[in-house]
Amino acid sequence: MVHKQTGALALVAALLLSTSAFAQDKRVVTWNADYDPIPLAAAEAVITDFEAANPEIDVVLTNFDHEAYKNAIGNFLTADPPDLANWYAANRMRPYVEAGLFADISDVWAANGLNDALASSLPSMTIDGKQWGIPYTYYQWGIYYNRDAYAAAGLEAPGEAGVTWEQFLANCEAFKAADIDCLTTSSLEQWPVAGVFDYLSLRTNGYQFHSDLAAGKVSWTSPEARAVFAEFAKLQPYVSEGHAAIKWQDAAALLVQGKAAHFVMGNFAVGVFKEGGMTNDNLGFMVFPEITAGVARAEEAPTDTIHLTSGAKNPDDAKTFLAYMATAEAQSKWNAAVGQLPTNNTATVDPADPFLVAGFEALSTASGGIAQFWDRDAEAEYAKAGMDAFQQFLVQPEELEAILERLEQTRLRLYPQ
């Protein structure tokens, strides 16, 4: 049973639901989520399957507005905890784990062999050696490009293997000559720029360095960090001007119109590109080029998760549902509907969608590791300071010393040595 409720209606509906559930003598599992319409429909379908297999359990989903969810979760976890709540992996879940609001579900992982099935997500779900949630979807990041723009600049579009970093920069020069932005991005919402930085960092120094950087263990004035900014500086002249004042959808429009050639983005942007009129023929995807030879390729794949709350009233049935959400069956179904990738490595993706296939391939062969994204790997305040810095560097590359100095001060304040 699925019910979408907001605000005061939720209370009334919840009362009605609890009575109706009581009448049917089912055990209720409550689940708070923040889904847009398509993921919500997918979740409803998964719940229907689950209830068919477990007729004595009634999963009641309360859907929240996406933007309001962050403030709501802080309140409902203490005031009126549901059994299950949606959230995100890695450092994003840390405040709730440390406040004791999310429950340890290592037993669910152990009992269902999830350490193998969800192996790629194990590090990001583990804090203090325990697992705190079920990852059920992620999506790849990479470079989306417009083949028509390549043609307009008289260049050959990248093949299956992508391009080398030198070739990429050389192409950028050619795009510039053709008055096309080589790389478009948006820094009005700062996270798209963080994606670019993440890849530069992962490709220059590898996963471990990037992870340490996000955790505040590495100095911003170290030679390795400077090397990342040196690569960033090579890219900087080719980034769309005015990126600080446009939304990512506006940047996507530049790509669609052929005014820009590349966009470092997550796979969710494909829907926007296609709404703008692009097709599988002129929209391309490639992994970010290798920069330092020999560095194991790591990819970004932000993971969405479901957590058992510490105040859950029906933890046993909630764990049954969590175990179900970890199965290949549930994940294949949910992700096929939403167009994202299942985290369960035995799940399947739609072979007709070249971007999903490419993403699944890119992630499953990423020997370097899976990063979550800057604002999930780094602690919230540190992430924000970093994104301010990346944005400023794109606008004022000559301020590099001041930027690194400020970041280093922030790091020393947040992580006293």
Partner 1 sequence: MAVTTDMRAATPAGPSVRRLNQRALAPWLFLAPGLFMFAVYVLWPIGQSITLSFYDWNGLYNQDGEFTGTYVGMGNYAELMTDPAFEVSLWNNFYWLALYMLALPAGLLIAIFLNQTVTGIRLYKSLFFFPFVISQVVVGLMFAWFYAPNFGLLYLLTEWVTGKGIAILADPDLVTFGIIAAGLWPQIAYVMILYLTGLNNVAPDQIEAARLDGAKGWRMLWFVVLPQLRPATFIAVIVTVIGALRSFDLVSIMTKGGPFGESRVLSYYMFEKALGEYGFRMGYGAAIAVVLFAIMMVFISGFIWKMWRDERER
Task: Kindly indicate which of the ranges 4-12, 117-125, 182-190, 268-276 contains the residues binding partner 1, using the contact rule CB under 8 A.
Answer: 182-190
Q: Of these, 49, 148, 224, 250, which contacts partner 1 (CB under 8 A)? A: 250
Distance from C-alpha of 282 to C-alpha of 256, rounded to nearest angstrom:
9
Q: Within a 13 Å sphere around the CA of 400, how many CA atoms are in the beta-carbon half?
A: 14
Q: Give the number of residues in contact with partner 1, rule: CB under 8 A.
A: 38
Burial of 250 (0-12, 13-18, 19+ CB in 10 A): middle
Contact 404, 221 (CB under 8 A): yes
Contact status: 78 vs partner 1 (CB under 8 A): yes
Q: Within a 13 Å sphere around the CA of 174, how many CA atoms are in the beta-carbon half?
A: 16
Task: Kindly indicate which of the ranges 37-45, 241-249, 276-284, 329-337 contains the residues binding partner 1, using the contact rule CB under 8 A.
Answer: 241-249
Contact status: 189 vs partner 1 (CB under 8 A): yes
Q: Report the run of H or E that residue 65 belongs to, with start and end.
A: none
Q: How far is the CB of 82 from partner 1 (least distance, A)?
A: 14
Which residue, 259 or 297, is less far from partner 1 as judged by CB? 259
Contact status: 91 vs partner 1 (CB under 8 A): no
User: Which residues sit opposite 300 in a β-bridge?
Assistant: 371
Q: Of these, 54, 106, 310, 348, which contacts partner 1 (CB under 8 A)? A: 310
Q: Of these, 100, 113, 237, 277, which contacts partner 1 (CB under 8 A)? A: 100
Which residue, 94 or 297, is less far from partner 1 as judged by CB? 94
Residue that has been written with the tokens 């220059």 in this structure? 204
Q: How far is the CB of 248 from partner 1 (least distance, A)?
A: 13
Which residue, 44 or 181, is less far from partner 1 as judged by CB? 181
Longest dimension (CA), the chain: 72
CB atoms within 10 A of CB 122: 17
Contact 124, 88 (CB under 8 A): no
Contact status: 194 vs partner 1 (CB under 8 A): no
Contact status: 174 vs partner 1 (CB under 8 A): no
Contact status: 80 vs partner 1 (CB under 8 A): no
User: Which residues sit opposite 159 in a β-bridge?
Assistant: 162
Q: Report the run of H or E that residue 144 belongs to, with start and end.
A: strand 141-146
Q: Which residues of 387-412 are buried (b: 16+ CB within 10 A; e: fewer)?
A: bbbbbbbbeeeeebeebbebbeebbe
Q: How far is the CB of 72 from partner 1 (least distance, A)?
A: 12
Phi/psi of residue 237, nearest 5 degrees: -65, -15
Task: Kindly indicate which of the ranges 149-157, 227-235, 273-281, 376-384 contains the residues binding partner 1, using the contact rule CB under 8 A.
Answer: 376-384
Q: Which residues bind partner 1 (CB under 8 A)?
A: 70-71, 74, 77-78, 95-96, 99-101, 187-190, 241-246, 250, 254, 259, 310-311, 375, 380-381, 383-384, 388-389, 391-392, 395-396, 406, 413
